[in-house]
Structure formats: structure tokens, C-alpha cells
């Protein structure tokens, strides 16, 4: 099997890897298209000391597994949990209805599981979602990051009262978070450093502001999608006293945080990670917002190193790989 392989901060293409073998309760999926995301780039930079096949944004077709799934075009939730394994006792988090925080969690292409930047992928049937026929592959491949963006929407609907909002980071995730939130929060702005990324946001109908010109203590809600210390610092300055910060970016290293200022200003911090695939697929099927304009390149799997270089360029949103 051909696959992209990350090890010690380098990426190469391997053609000597065994195809995944079918396990009970799982399916073998032939990958049709996969996307490179910010987490994949961080894995290459040393996040989690990762070694293996990366990738968790994909569309595929089930080739082996339960008969009712054979031939289905699917996407998959990345967290492999007690519940999705469906064997043995469940952990306390799964028993309490928090499977994305399973104490024995594996994550496709991130921890304990081979990823989707390969010809084939093994995933639990419980993680699979059928792709609506109306969604082309290049739209459905956004299901996982759109689900992560929808998680922010769920959090503010139940936990946050906000009118004026700011998304910090106009990259691949920030663009999606902003597009999801804009339907709920019309007074939303996107802040970033790359004029190319800000122009893309404006073309999608979003208001933008340069990161250096963000108004201080002015926003009820600030979502940090930057994954960078400078972005986090700007997000912290932007949130008003008793406002809310939602942290969405993946950071390789620890951040320096002035906890006293957060206490004094009574700022609420919320972490945010994975969301509902059902929400994401519904939003994509309805056409709530455009995603194809985020695709900057489409390359063969055999060009994975070049694709990662392309994805790391400033202002580039999404690079797709096709086996």
C-alpha cells in the first residue's frame, strides 16, 4: 500500500506498507480524497512526536465490512472510543456520554491509528457516516473540519450570550468557524495576518480586520483559531471583561498566559475540539456556506511531501491528496 509517512519531522511516501486487515466491527475503506489540515502540519513539526500515517479528513468507499455498508461513500469521525469499539466495558467518560473524551481514545491519523493519507484505511463502522448523494467528494471532504466548527456553534448556543464576535486566524479552520458562526452572529469579524486569507474571507461575505488593528476589550466572544502565540495574545486582548474566549487552535508548545488578567477580567475560557458530523453534513448538504473556494491545490498521494510544502504556504487554505 502507498501512504504518506511522517517520522522525526520528515515526510516521505512509502510503497511498502501492508494493507489494513479487517477487524470485527470495522470496515476497510478505499480513500477517494483526503485533505491536509493544520494538525497534520503540526504533526510534521513535532507535535506528539508522531510517527506513522497522518490524515483524518477524507472521503472513501467501503470495500470490506458489514454487507449493508459495502459500496457506501463515507466520512468518519476521528475518535475511536470504547463505544465505537463495542467490545468490553466502557470507561467513565463514555459511560457519562462524553465519548470524544474517552479515557482509552485513539484518533485516526493522530494517535494509535493509521490515518487517511493512504490508499486504504481501517475504521470502526460506528464511526462512519454515509455521504449524501448530492455532495461531491471535494465538498464532503470538509465534513470533519466543518464538524469542528459546528462544535463552536453548539457551545455558544447553550453556554454563551454574544453579539459582537471575532475569529482570530483566517486560515483553513478559522475560515470555516467564521462561516458557521456568521449565520448566528451577524456582527462577526475575522482577524488575520495574511492579506490573501483576509481577502478570501471578504469574498465569502465576512467582515475582516488586520490582526494588528483589532480593537481591545471590544468583543463578547473571541474564537482563537490561530494556533500561534501571537494569535492567542491578540485574542486575549480583544475579549471584553466577562467575555468568552474559545480556544480552537492546536499548539505544539506551551503558551505563556497571564492568568491574573483572566481572573481580574472574569474572562471565561472554553476549549473546543470535535463536533457533530450530522450537523456538518446537514450544513454542507443545505449549502449554508461555500467551501470549494478554500481548495487551493489537488495533488496525487505520490506527491505528499510537495503537498505538505504547499499547505504550509502563507494564505493557503486546503490542499487535497488523491490516491
Give a yes or no: residue 173 inside a domain.
Answer: yes
Residue 281 lies in a domain: no
| 194 Cβ contact list (under 8 Å, min separation 6) | 170, 171, 314, 315
The answer to whether residues 150 and 105 belong to one domain is no
Judge residue 92's burial from the number of C-beta atoms within 10 Å of its C-beta, 0-12 exposed, 13-18 middle, 19 or more buried. exposed
Residues 178 and 301 grouped into a single domain = no
CA dist 318 and 171 (Å) reads 9
Cβ contacts of 246 within 8 Å, gap of 6 or more: 152, 155, 156, 221, 222, 223, 224, 270, 271, 272
> Cell 500515517 sits at which residue?
53
Predicted pLDDT at 316 = 95
Residues with Cβ within 8 Å of residue 287, at least 6 apart in sequence:
none
For residue 207, is it within any domain? yes
180 neighbors 153 (Cβ within 8 angstroms): yes
With H, G, I as helix, E, B as strand and everything else as coil, classify residue 297.
strand
Smallest CA-to-CA distance from 36 within 44, 27, 28 is with 44
Question: Are 89 and 131 found together in one domain?
Answer: yes
Q: Are strands 106-108 and 112-113 parallel, antiparallel or unpaired?
A: parallel
In a domain, 278, yes or no: no
Distance (Å, whole) CA 32 – CA 221: 38
Same domain, 24 and 77: yes
Question: Which residue matches cell numbers 467518560?
Answer: 93
Which pTM value belongs to this model? 0.94
Who contacts 133 (Cβ-Cβ below 8 Å, separation ≥6)? none
Question: Is residue 277 included in any domain, yes or no?
Answer: no
Our count of domains for the chain comes to 2
Helix/strand/coil for 90: coil
**Residues near 159 by beta carbon (within 8 Å), at least 6 away in sequence:** 244, 270
What is the model's pLDDT at position 58?
Answer: 98
Residue 184 · residue 303 · CB < 8 Å: no
**Residue 137, SS3 per DSSP:** helix
Strands ordered across the beta sheet of 51-52 = 10-14, 3-7, 51-52
User: In whole angstroms, what is the distance from residue 319 CA to residue 301 CA?
Assistant: 11
157 and 252 housed in the same domain: yes
Q: Beta strands 79-80 and 73-76: pairing type?
A: unpaired
Q: Are residues 7 and 136 in the same domain?
A: yes
Q: How many other β-carbons are positioned within 10 Å of the β-carbon of residue 119?
A: 16
Residues 173 and 205 in one domain: yes
134 with 105, same domain: the answer is yes
What is the model's pLDDT at position 252? 67
What's the pLDDT score for residue 181?
96
Q: What is the CATH number of the domain that holds 88?
A: 3.90.180.10
Does residue 150 fall inside a structural domain?
Answer: yes
Write out the residue range of the structural domain in which residue 126 sits.
3-142+291-322
From residue 160, how far is each of 101, 131, 188, 245, 267 by CA, in Å? 22, 31, 15, 10, 12
Q: Is residue 286 part of a domain?
A: no
276 in a domain, yes or no? no
Number of Cβ within a 10 Å radius of residue 70: 12
Statement to judge: residues 155 and 219 lie in one domain:
yes
Give the per-residue pLDDT at 49.
87
Q: Whose grid coordinates read 504550509?
A: 312
Q: State the Cα–Cα distance between residues 46 and 251, nearest whole angstrom.
A: 11
CATH of residue 205's domain is: 3.40.50.720
Q: For the chain, 323 residues long, give each residue's pLDDT as a single digit of tens.
A: 999 999 989 999 999 999 999 999 999 999 999 999 999 999 999 888 899 999 999 999 999 999 999 999 999 999 999 988 877 789 999 999 999 899 999 999 999 999 999 999 999 999 999 999 999 999 999 999 999 999 999 999 877 778 899 999 999 999 999 999 999 999 999 999 999 999 999 999 999 999 999 999 999 999 999 988 999 999 999 999 999 999 998 776 778 899 999 999 999 999 999 999 999 999 999 999 999 999 999 999 999 999 999 999 999 999 999 99
Check whether residue 169 and residue 49 sit in a common domain.
no
**Spatial separation of the C-alpha atoms in residues 115 and 117, rounded to whole Å:** 6
Looking at the fold, whether 102 and 51 belong to one and the same domain comes out as yes
Are 129 and 156 in the same domain?
Answer: no
Query: What are the cell numbers at 225?
Result: 483559531
Amino acid at each position: 500500500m502507498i501512504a504518506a509517512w511522517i517520522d522525526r519531522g520528515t515526510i516521505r511516501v512509502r510503497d511498502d506498507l501492508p494493507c489494513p486487515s479487517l477487524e470485527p466491527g470495522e470496515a476497510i475503506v478505499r480513500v477517494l480524497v483526503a485533505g491536509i489540515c493544520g494538525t497534520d502540519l503540526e504533526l510534521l513539526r513535532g507535535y506528539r512526536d508522531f510517527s506513522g500515517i497522518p490524515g483524518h479528513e477524507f472521503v472513501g468507499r467501503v470495500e470490506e465490512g458489514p454487507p449493508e455498508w459495502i459500496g457506501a461513500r463515507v466520512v468518519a469521525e476521528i475518535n475511536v472510543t470504547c463505544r465505537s469499539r463495542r467490545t468490553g466495558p466502557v470507561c467513565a467518560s463514555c459511560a457519562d456520554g462524553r465519548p470524544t473524551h474517552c479515557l482509552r481514545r485513539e484518533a485516526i491519523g493522530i494517535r494509535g491509528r493509521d490515518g487517511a493519507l493512504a490508499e486504504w484505511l481501517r475504521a470502526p463502522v460506528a464511526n462512519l457516516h454515509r455521504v449524501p448523494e448530492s455532495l461531491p467528494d471535494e465538498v464532503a471532504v470538509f465534513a470533519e473540519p466543518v464538524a469542528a466548527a459546528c462544535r463552536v456553534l453548539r457551545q455558544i448556543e447553550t453556554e454563551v450570550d454574544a453579539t459582537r464576535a471575532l475569529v482570530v486566524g483566517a486560515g483553513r479552520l478559522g475560515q470555516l468557524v467564521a462561516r458557521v458562526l456568521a449565520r448566528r452572529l451577524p456582527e462577526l469579524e475575522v482577524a488575520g495576518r495574511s492579506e490573501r486569507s483576509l481577502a478570501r474571507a471578504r469574498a465569502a461575505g465576512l467582515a475582516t480586520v488586520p490582526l494588528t488593528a483589532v480593537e481591545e476589550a471590544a468583543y463578547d466572544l473571541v474564537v482563537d483559531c490561530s494556533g500561534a502565540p501571537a494569535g492567542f495574545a491578540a485574542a486575549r486582548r480583544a475579549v471584553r471583561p466577562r467575555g468568552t474566549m474559545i480556544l480552537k487552535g492546536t499548539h505544539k508548545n506551551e503558551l505563556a498566559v497571564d492568568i491574573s488578567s483572566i481572573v481580574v477580567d472574569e474572562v471565561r475560557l472554553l476549549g473546543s475540539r470535535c463536533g457533530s458530523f450530522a450537523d456538518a453534513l446537514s450544513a454542507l448538504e443545505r449549502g449554508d456556506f461555500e467551501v470549494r473556494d478554500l481548495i487551493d491545490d489537488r495533488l496525487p498521494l505520490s506527491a505528499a511531501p510537495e503537498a505538505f510544502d504547499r499547505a504550509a504556504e502563507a494564505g493557503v487554505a486546503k490542499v487535497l491528496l488523491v490516491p
